[in-house]
Amino acid sequence: MSTTANAHNIIRCSDVSVRYGAVLALDKVSVDIRCGSLTALVGPNGAGKSTLLRAILGWHRLSTGEIRIGDAHPQHVLPRLAYLPQRHMVDWDFPITVRELVEQGRYPALGLLGRFREADHVKVRQAMEELDLVGLGDRQIRMLSGGQQQRVFLARALAQGADIFLLDEPFTGLDRFSTAELTHILLNWRAQGRTVVAAVHDIELARSHFAEGVVLAGRLIAAGPVAQSLSEEVLEQAFQDRHCRHEDPLGLVRTARFPQ
């Protein structure tokens, strides 16, 4: 994963720094994400993974640097970008059905009157079919399993028309079956040429199913094929980096799983 821009890089981060007041969350991160790649974003808690995802979405003001999606700034290509939040940030008790949540993906594209057109219904139906949600359309989201809930948000992203997906810890809290199901979906998306960047805690899962890795510790530690970027030496460096504070870095690296 070269930091040199070329026609195959869809997300281009150059010297990206983000501050929260006096706290430097990201320090001059330069990394490119290839179009059609499946990239695991890893690092200790507080390493800046969520911050980088939100910066790519244009939600954070950059202290330094620039982010481009292709040749454009994020705000100019928002329909292409979809975000899956961490599960604990979602109000699962909110009274909304599966179909209604997927329909939200079409809201930014609605006309002046804000009414659904036939084309909008088609996109919603196609997204629900692809994620195997047709039979759950009238069910309240709180009644779904964790894996089903994740699929609903992915379907909303598909209905939006996105082809670049930024997923913040999508596997956290899922059982083994749901994890395998979600992994299968992401691998299919990669085969279809869609771009996925996912913050991942489970290092063995990242090594087994993701092609590329980006390791953060406030700054960029490594980027490239997972065999190199997610090596034990790189992960040990990430935990020892002065930007991150953790009581037992080596012990956590040996377990091949970052803290949840």
Q: Which spans in the chain are helix H?
A: 49-56, 98-103, 118-130, 146-160, 176-191, 203-209, 226-229, 232-240, 249-255
For the domain made up of 9-90+164-255, the CATH class stated in words is alpha beta
Rounded CA separation 155/160 (Å): 9
Per-residue confidence (pLDDT) for residue 7, from 0 to 100: 47
Rounded CA separation 169/201 (Å): 7
Q: How many residues does the chain have?
A: 260
Per-residue confidence (pLDDT) for residue 157, from 0 to 100: 94
Domain ranges of the chain: 9-90+164-255
pTM for the whole structure: 0.85
Of the candidates 73, 72, 2, which has an alpha carbon nearest to the alpha carbon of residue 31?
A: 2
Per-residue confidence (pLDDT) for residue 111, from 0 to 100: 67
Q: What is the mean pLDDT of each run of 10 residues along the chain (260 residues)?
A: 56 96 94 96 93 94 94 80 89 92 91 82 96 96 94 95 94 93 95 96 95 96 96 90 44 34
Per-residue confidence (pLDDT) for residue 260, from 0 to 100: 31
- Return all residues near 106 (Cβ < 8 A) that are at least 6 apart: 116, 120, 123, 124, 159, 160
